[in-house]
Chains A and B, each alone.
Chain A
Amino acid sequence: MGRQRERVMRTIRVVIAKSGLDGHDRGAKVIARALRDSGMEVIYTGLRQTPEQIVETVLQEDADVIGLSILSGAHNHICPRIAELLKIKGMKDVLIIVGGIIPDVDIPKLRAVGVEGIFLPGSPMQDIVNFIREHVRPSAVSK
């Protein structure tokens, strides 16, 4: 119960990140605003962040969620690396979600490395908000 109450009281903190060389940031920006409008605290990294930089931002910002926007096909390279770095740093409670163009065959691979939410083109903003609220870890939030 105590945990639950803290979960409600502390604002969810989300890092929205663009990784790889891709500069298409429409989706990242729209989602960042939607999450902010829903009451979350949002940190947008800007473009071309390496997995190392992103994980460092999550650590510095004490974030509960990483939202990665990837449209270039580099997800198979970026997502496992981020998951690995989070493990190394002991940040296993951080929720990883990915939005972008992800071929069906890659979805199980991403889930296997720990990406919990995968949002394809056409996903409503509200679904993403709801997903984060439902899946964010109490321990990540109330630490």
Chain B
Amino acid sequence: MSSSSRNPNKVEGGGSAQSKTRTRSATSSIISSDATHQQLDVTESESPACKKQTVTSSGHPVAPFYESDDLSDLDYQRDLNDPGEFPYTRGIHQTGYRGKLWTMRQFAGFGTPEETNNRYHQLIAAGGTGLSVAFDLPTLMGRDPDDPLSAGEIGKCGVSVASLADMERLFAGIKLSDVTTSMTINSPAPMLLAMYLVLAERQGVDWQQVSGTIQNDILKEFIAQKEYIYPPRPSMRLITDVFAFCGEHAPKWNTISVSGYHIREAGSTAVQELAFTLRDGIEYVQYGIDAGLDVDTFAPRMSFFFNAHSDFFEEIAKYRAARKIWSNVMRNRFHAKDDRSWKLRFHSQTAGGSLTGQQAYNNVMRATWQALAAVMGGTNSLHTCSLDEALALPTSDAATLALRTQQIIAHETGITEVADPLGGSYLIEALTREMENKANSYFKAIDDCGGMVEAIEQGYPQREIAESAYRDQKRVESGERAVVGVTTFVDDGAAEIPTLYIDESTEQKQLDQLQLLKQKRDTDRVARALEQVRAAADGTTNMMEPLLEAVRVYATLGEMCNALRDVWGEYEETPMI
């Protein structure tokens, strides 16, 4: 189909008859619920519905309907194939969710380790099947509670974990062999992984059996979320050190979750999310190979993390395109031989940025539809946002409702019975191909920069995202994109909802705990361990061993991160708007 015929107002060229038919029938279908539809023939081209230019969130024009000509050069074996078969467009499991339901993994963390530990016990009791740790900003930035820059931030948007002692309290009563744990941690990911592994060691759990994920995706921090500490190159070394270490010692650990979520939340389109995330993935694989690793020793433990946003069909197409692109990249660009290296596994989370503070109960519906898109796109793990998250961290009731939303989709709707239920849909297949083509164009642009690290240094993805964010905000304010309860159907009298309030007492508690720890531990051993960390950073040996040793003697997160700051310095981006 020519691109012009996608626009119902631009009917031209050889395909005009077909396009005209398309325009007419679509208009009829839009108006057919109206009793006057039999009289509409003459006026149909004047209909506002007909005139309206419709685009996806990525700006791709959407035709009123799709048909077989849209897929005329689609090759089933090459482009789709059965679920569980290369290129995995239709999913990585032959039996879809019949064989293995997605993991219901609700991201949670706030206040002290004890408070978050309580929430974990509640989530496990409510049927949650995986834990997911949200850390506070000082932890994410590798700073202790007594660091002056941590003031006012402790335990506010996640749990404060400053040492192995905090990790012990966070997982009190939870055996690490019984759960899989995802930790959203990036720059200090090796240190938090070291704490988790030492905790397993002390619980008597073999590292071979420890399973979970660290986000460990520094590139999207430079691109979008901005929680970086060190410059890009030493940061990349930490990541390949984790690849190498886990390949040998913790083979069930997912060493990285290459994340588009934050890229999307920063304002990117779906296409940019897809393209930048997968290109980040390519960068990690390349750095791993350049560090001397065999691709098949670390690629199978890479996982991905995408946003589940509101443009329903475009999101489903995004997930399908992601699997197809990745399998081809791994097989053709990197010559991976293990089919586990070809399969893209991903977690998804509904879009925090789509939630509204106004009429907050509407957010339950947003999360439901977004979760449905993720499930229809074959997500392997899912977090549904709580209804109160535009206002605060979720209350216990709101978090439970979010989990129940997933359980209803999984156990009441029947959607889980058939893999890739929308496969073969003219629309979905056309959109999937569109996403793939656009992502490949971005790959070329980033390859031309010299790679993703270089593109980031040039500010390329950052600029692209800032443009999209501003464009989207203008679309909202012009009324082009509706936000129910905010730009339309406004109701000032809507019910208020209860919210969680994190007071300042966490700060004092964590400061007290830290002081206690510093009195009890062996200061000389800590100093020696930190010296080893510094020496390793200055050399080329794997960072994990010295970090594990520092954790064992209760060196704090801030001390370990500062040791590396001493050697590598800190990254500062050039502000731009």
- From B358, which residue of chain A is reached at the shortest CB distance? A122
- 1/0 per position for B155-196, CB-CB distance to A under 8 A? 011000000000000000000000000000000000000000
Would A72 and B153 count as touching, CB distance under 8 A? yes
Q: Would you call A8 an interface residue if the criterion is a C-beta within 8 Å of the partner chain's C-beta atoms?
A: no
- Complex: A101 Cα to B388 Cα, angstroms: 11
Q: Would you call B37 an interface residue if the criterion is a C-beta within 8 Å of the partner chain's C-beta atoms?
A: no
Would B575 and A45 count as touching, CB distance under 8 A? yes
Q: Would you call A103 an interface residue if the criterion is a C-beta within 8 Å of the partner chain's C-beta atoms?
A: yes
Would B573 and A21 count as touching, CB distance under 8 A? no
- Complex: A101 Cα to B225 Cα, angstroms: 17
Q: Which of A21, A72, A120 is in CB contact (< 8 Å) with B357?
A: A120
- 1/0 per position for B222-237, CB-CB distance to A under 8 A? 0001111000000000
- Complex: A1 Cα to B574 Cα, angstroms: 42
- 1/0 per position for A15-38, CB-CB distance to B under 8 A? 010001111111001101110100
- 1/0 per position for A46-80, CB-CB distance to B under 8 A? 11101000000000000000000001111111100
Chain B hits for A44, CB < 8 A = 575-577
| Chain B facing A: main interface SS | loop
Q: Would you call A42 an interface residue if the criterion is a C-beta within 8 Å of the partner chain's C-beta atoms?
A: yes
- From A36, which residue of chain B is reached at the shortest CB distance? B577
Tell me which of B134-142, B210-218, B511-519 binds A.
B134-142
Interface residues of B in 241-262 (CB under 8 A from A): none
Would B502 and A23 count as touching, CB distance under 8 A? no
Q: Which of A16, A21, A47, A103 is in CB contact (< 8 Å) with B391?
A: A103
Q: Would you call A11 an interface residue if the criterion is a C-beta within 8 Å of the partner chain's C-beta atoms?
A: no
Return A133 CB to nearest CB of chain B, in Å: 17
Return B440 CB to nearest CB of chain A, in Å: 26
Would B573 and A26 count as touching, CB distance under 8 A? no
Chain B hits for A73, CB < 8 A = 152-153, 156-157, 502
Would A23 and B225 count as touching, CB distance under 8 A? yes
- Complex: A13 Cα to B341 Cα, angstroms: 53
Chain B hits for A42, CB < 8 A = 577
Would B156 and A72 count as touching, CB distance under 8 A? yes
- Complex: A74 Cα to B137 Cα, angstroms: 10
Would A125 and B473 count as touching, CB distance under 8 A? yes
Q: Which of B228, B391, B466 is in CB contact (< 8 Å) with A29?
A: B466
Q: Would you call B422 an interface residue if the criterion is a C-beta within 8 Å of the partner chain's C-beta atoms?
A: no
Q: Would you call B504 an interface residue if the criterion is a C-beta within 8 Å of the partner chain's C-beta atoms?
A: yes
Would B157 and A72 count as touching, CB distance under 8 A? yes
Beyond A46-B573, A72-B157, list 12 extra A-B contacts (CB 8 Å). Answer: A16-B577, A25-B226, A25-B266, A29-B470, A30-B267, A34-B470, A73-B157, A74-B153, A74-B156, A76-B152, A76-B504, A124-B477
Interface residues of chain A, those whose CB is within 8 Å of chain B, are 16, 20-26, 29-30, 32-34, 36, 42, 44-48, 50, 71-78, 101, 103-105, 120-122, 124-126
